[in-house]
Amino acid sequence: MNRLRQTMRVVLPRESVVGLALVCYLVSRLPELAVLPRLWELSPREFAEAVREMRFVVGVCVAILAACYGLYRAVGFFPVEDEYRKWLGNKPWDGAAPLPFAPVHPVWQDGVVVGVLVLGGWGTPQPILSPLLWGMMGYVAGLGCVLGDHSLRAMYTALFGLAFVWLAGMSGLPGLEWLLLAGISMVLIGELQRILRKWPGLDFELQQRAYNGDRPGAGVSSWPYAALSPCQWVPPRAFPIHVQPHGWLLPLAGALWSWALLASAQIHAHNIQLAHPNDPQGDLFVGHIGNLVVVVVSVSCVFQRLSLYLPGHRAPISFGGRIATGRWIIPRYDAVWVAPLLVMLIMLTAVPLLSICSPTQALIAVPIAMAIVLAITLNLGPRVDRWRLTAPIRLAPVRAAKDRRNELMEV
């Protein structure tokens, strides 16, 4: 038993995480205890419906656990963290040898874990909730994340491929999602092997913010000299603004994923109408989901974009100064607000329209809105580095609370 435990610990997370996953699984089983006292009062049809709903809850929980495990296997074992990467860089290791802690590739221990999850979700009525399917999807998503810094092919294969796998699972064609997922996995594993073989000459450093003026003591000197230093600004990895081909591929991916999500919502709304023909909420369900997607994505894009421009770079005069001097608009500085205002205008126009449109119209309108919002956010100027160098800006220090506490301690 101890030997088996040591063997499985190679791929399993910490025991506390395993215990948390077990607690989540047991919580998903609690509705069964609520049904047991009134089991004999239910008719055969009501009993079958109750069993179906309880198994659905358990299936969703097991599918989420499987996806998290697949994501952990890809992200947690790839040498992307600073400590692991630096430690590995000091060892006589090359990409031809296995990784010292555990391989990123699937091993037989993964089959044991997935087998336990399959047994835990046994009897789930929906085949789309298969733990093996969701585990592979989580693994593919994780590989797309960790390999995206080094291979655009891997990043967009995972991003677009998982959307098509999701649509294939809803299409009802048996085995299509498995065929697509197997092809995507082969492509990503091939990219993984190619990247690991290039280890001796490959820079595994994550893209950091090259502009260090917002952090005291970073760069060539402390603020304000670091803010004025001629270092090149690099867009953050999670928000590649003004970077091609991300500026056009990410809007296409956003449109595809929003369409896949609304197609799932439309199928669910159709099932609601079949079960409750007189329920008017079935027709509006897709519109509500579309509103939620548009609002969340639009607000997130606005905050992400402004967080790259405004911190540490204030207007040359205050709001009161603009009114007093009659300079209500400062074109070179206020150009930074054009893209966020356009995104908010699209959101405020789309939300009331989606509330009254039909599910078919929402299925067309939301992906178009998502593509436009993301294209404006990622492509519309001004460029961050050019705006910081040419706009009339008043520099201001941006210091985190931790830095302020350290400064007070030094004083």
What does the pLDDT look like over 265-289, one tens digit per residue? 787 777 666 666 665 555 567 778 8
pLDDT band at 212 (very low <50, low <70, confident <90, very high): very low
Query: Largest Cα–Cα distance in the chain?
Result: 80
Question: Taking residues 92-110, what's their average pLDDT?
Answer: 75
Q: Which residue has the higher pLDDT, 216 or 246?
A: 246
Query: β-strands 313-314, 394-395: how paired?
Result: antiparallel
Question: Taking residues 170-183, what's their average pLDDT?
Answer: 85
Question: Taking residues 37-46, what's their average pLDDT?
Answer: 67
CA distance 31 to 51: 10
Question: Taking residues 105-119, what's their average pLDDT?
Answer: 87
pLDDT at 284: 64
CA distance 137 to 360: 28
pLDDT band at 318 (very low <50, low <70, confident <90, very high): confident
Question: Taking residues 189-212, what's their average pLDDT?
Answer: 60
* Percent share of the chain, pLDDT over 70: 73
Question: Taking residues 88-96, what's their average pLDDT?
Answer: 67
pLDDT at 239: 72
Q: Is the peptide bond before 340 cis (omega within 30 degrees of 0)?
A: no
* pLDDT-wise least confident of 69-83, 105-119, 126-140: 69-83
Q: Which of 374, 252, 390 is CA-nearest to residue 309?
A: 390
* pLDDT-wise least confident of 218-222, 232-236, 393-397: 218-222
Task: Name residues whose C-beta falls within 8 Å of residue 247's C-beta, 6 or more positions apart in sequence.
Answer: 240, 241, 375, 378, 379
Q: Say yes or no to pLDDT of 174 above 50.
A: yes
pLDDT at 167: 87
pLDDT at 252: 94
Residue 229 near residue 218, CB atoms below 8 Å:
no
Q: Which of 159, 166, 184 is CA-nearest to residue 374?
A: 159
Q: Which residue has the higher pLDDT, 122 or 186?
A: 186
Q: What is the pLDDT of residues 324-349, one digit of tens each?
A: 888 889 999 999 999 999 999 999 99
Question: Taking residues 56-63, what's their average pLDDT?
Answer: 87
pLDDT at 399: 60
pLDDT at 407: 41
Strand, helix or coil for residue 313: strand
Question: Taking residues 88-105, what's their average pLDDT?
Answer: 71
Q: Is the pTM of this model over 0.75?
A: yes
* pLDDT-wise least confident of 150-159, 193-202, 277-286: 277-286
Q: Which residue has the higher pLDDT, 225 or 97?
A: 97
CA distances from 56 to 123, 135, 303 (A): 9, 17, 37
Q: What's the mean pLDDT when you consider all of the chain?
A: 79
Residue indicated by tokens 């190619």: 194
* pLDDT-wise least confident of 82-86, 361-365, 378-382, 384-388: 82-86
Structure tokens at 53: 């709903």
Q: Say yes or no to pLDDT of 117 above 80.
A: yes
Question: Taking residues 294-307, what's their average pLDDT?
Answer: 93
Long-range contacts of 23-30 (CB under 8 A, 24+ apart): 24/61, 24/65, 25/58, 25/61, 25/62, 25/65, 25/120, 27/61, 28/57, 28/58, 28/60, 28/61, 28/62, 29/58
Structure tokens at 210: 């090259």
pLDDT at 294: 92
pLDDT at 237: 64
pLDDT at 225: 56
Q: Say yes or no to pLDDT of 181 above 60.
A: yes
Q: Which residue has the higher pLDDT, 3 or 68?
A: 68
Q: Say yes or no to pLDDT of 199 above 90.
A: no
Question: Where are the chain's structural domains?
Answer: 2-206, 225-240+247-410
Question: Taking residues 25-53, what's their average pLDDT?
Answer: 73
